């Protein structure tokens, strides 16, 4: 996978998964070599409601995750149009990513389908793709990688959909 833009906006569901990996800071450090990682206010607010996401707070404090907000009437209007269909986090992430030509990260089925229809050129990446990119770039050994995937499965209760291209024989 290659990032096709300078910035990546990460949605709530992906961040929960990355936090569960226990490697959020390292993942963001590695990714930030290629792309600046951001979240929207709506995602920040939602994550703050969830307990035990300390790594997320550290990532914000260390500037590995920059908080962005709407910068134009167009972005606000697009956000509200999208919020008629999807939740605020995904709507704001999608509106800003599309308006600024950034990539976004989400695992949400409805959001992915809806936003791809709105902007076919929008690059949408998923948790498995981010993990794969990080593990390959940082040479993470298979044993550690397997443990991390297990952590995500158990702590974040996430497993890619059965059709995900990185899922082989029911496993990832």
Partner 1 sequence: MTDNILDNIDMKQLGKLLEQARKQKGMTQEDVAKLIEVSTTTMIAIEKGDRPFQPAELIILARTYRKSVSDFVRQRPVIKPFDIQLAGISHNNEQAEAEIKPCIFQLEELCQNHLELEQIMQSSLPRYYPPEYTVSGMPIETTAEAIANQERQRLGLGDSPIGLFRDILEMSVGLRIFYISMPEKYAEIYGYNEELGGCIGINVTHPEELRRWSLAYGYLHFLIHRHQSVCDLVNIREQYETLPKSEQLAETFAKYFFMPTSSLLKQFNGRCQANQGGKFTQTDLFSLAHYYGVSVIAMTLRLEEMQLLPAGTWDNLKERGFRIRQTQQDLHLKQLLERNDLNPIHYQHLAIEALNQGLITEGQFAKFFQVDRLEARHIAELLREYSSEMDEQAGNLDLRQNSNERAVYAI
Residue 84 near partner 1 by CB under 8 A: yes
Query: 101: which 2 tokens?
Result: 């030509």
Residue 157 near partner 1 by CB under 8 A: yes
Contact string 50-79 vs partner 1 (x = CB under 8 A) = x-------------------x--xx-xx-x
Q: Are residues 58 and 25 in contact, defined by beta-carbon separation less than 8 angstroms?
A: yes
Query: Kindly report the CA angle at 104 between 125 and 65, in degrees rounded to 5?
Result: 110
Residue 134 near partner 1 by CB under 8 A: no
3-class secondary structure per residue, 156-172:
CCCCCCCCCCCCECCEC
**Among the candidate windows 23-31, 54-62, 89-97, 135-143, which touches partner 1 by CB under 8 A?**
89-97
Instruction: Return the residue of 40, 99, 103, 108 that touches partner 1, per CB under 8 A.
Output: 108
* Smallest separation (angstroms) from partner 1 to the CB of 63: 24
Q: Are residues 68 and 38 in contact, defined by beta-carbon separation less than 8 angstroms?
A: yes
Rounded Cα–Cα distance for residues 85 and 68 (Å): 22
List residues near partner 1 by CB under 8 A: 12-13, 16, 42, 45-46, 49-50, 70, 73-74, 76-77, 79-81, 83-91, 108-111, 113, 156-158
């Amino acid at each position: 996978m290659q990032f096709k833009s300078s910035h990546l906006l990460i949605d709530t569901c992906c961040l929960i998964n990355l936090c569960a990996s226990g490697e959020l800071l390292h993942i963001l450090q590695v990714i930030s070599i290629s792309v600046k990682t951001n979240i929207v206010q709506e995602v920040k607010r939602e994550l703050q409601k969830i307990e035990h996401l300390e790594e997320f707070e550290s990532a914000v404090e260390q500037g590995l995750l920059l908080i962005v907000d709407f910068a134009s009437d167009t972005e606000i209007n697009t956000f509200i149009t999208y919020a008629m269909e999807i939740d605020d986090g995904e709507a704001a992430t999608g509106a800003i990513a599309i308006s600024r030509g950034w990539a976004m990260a989400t695992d949400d089925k409805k959001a992915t389908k809806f936003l791809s229809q709105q902007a076919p050129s929008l690059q949408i990446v998923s948790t498995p793709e981010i993990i794969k990119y990080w593990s390959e770039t940082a040479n993470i050994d298979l044993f550690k990688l397997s443990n991390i995937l297990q952590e995500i499965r158990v702590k974040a209760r996430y497993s890619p959909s059965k059709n995900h291209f990185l899922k082989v024989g029911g496993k990832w």
